[in-house]
Amino acid sequence: MTENHIVVIDPAVETPATEAIASIERISTMPVTTHQPVLKSSASLNKDVSGVCGLILLGSMASVHDTLTWKDELVDWLRPVLRSGAPVLGICFGHQLIAHEFGGKIEFLNPDKKHIRGFRSIRFQRGELWNREAAEGELVVSHREGVTETPLSMRVIGTSSLPNDALRHETLPIWTMQAHPETTPRYYQDLGGEGTPDATSFVFGNSLIESFVRFTAKQAT
């Protein structure tokens, strides 16, 4: 059991977010514990309930509407953490699952259920994660579903061609985004990205992850 740490949950069904998690570990001044409820087991989460100072919930090929044992176990673990006051960042599947937990609506965005992949320009409103100034940049996206109805307890903080691209809870330190700010060049390929973007293509997204990690560490002191 690790005290005062950031939990990273990687619910990958096929390829784990190894490179992205390694990047988070390099950024963080706090210990980072990683859990893979699909590829390994949800059991490790039950051992990691003390000293959780922050949570990053990554993406998955699974849907929030799927009936899966690991997903139910994850939700059971997640609910008290969401209301604990610890900073939380939900990414892609994490964005959808958290929005769903607060009463949002998740639907397929394309009738043929094809993935939306590539980069999308997203403008974020002023917020404490980016020094309270508005921020805009290109972020990697890879998803089929999206939040089509905002939970009453959350508000939109990121806008693009996709409604509800990023959300913030009204009273709790919870942020979610459909895009993948954690993406590294190698992880981009794992997500099925096309071409070989320059490393600078991921700087904006990685800066959002770094801001969240720094915010979490500051809150923990």
**What letter would DSSP give residue 67?**
-
180 is a catalytic site residue:
yes
92 is a catalytic site residue:
yes
182 is a catalytic site residue:
yes
> What is the Cα–Cα distance from 47 to 35, expressed in whole angstroms?
11
**Residues 92 and 143: beta-carbon distance below 8 Å:** yes
**What letter would DSSP give residue 155?**
E
Spatial strand order in the sheet of 5-9: 32-35, 5-9, 52-57, 88-91, 174-177, 166-169, 154-159, 116-124, 135-143
**Residues 91 and 125: beta-carbon distance below 8 Å:** no
**Residues 32 and 8: beta-carbon distance below 8 Å:** yes
Catalytic residue among 95, 143, 169, 182: 182
Pairing outcome for strands 145-149 and 154-159: unpaired
CB atoms closer than 10 angstroms to residue 156: 14
Catalytic residue among 92, 95, 145, 169: 92
Rounded CA Rg of the chain: 16
Give me the amino acid identity at 135. Answer: A
Catalytic residue among 5, 35, 143, 180: 180
> What is the Cα–Cα distance from 183 to 192, expressed in whole angstroms?
12
> Which sequence positions are flagged as catalytic?
92, 180, 182
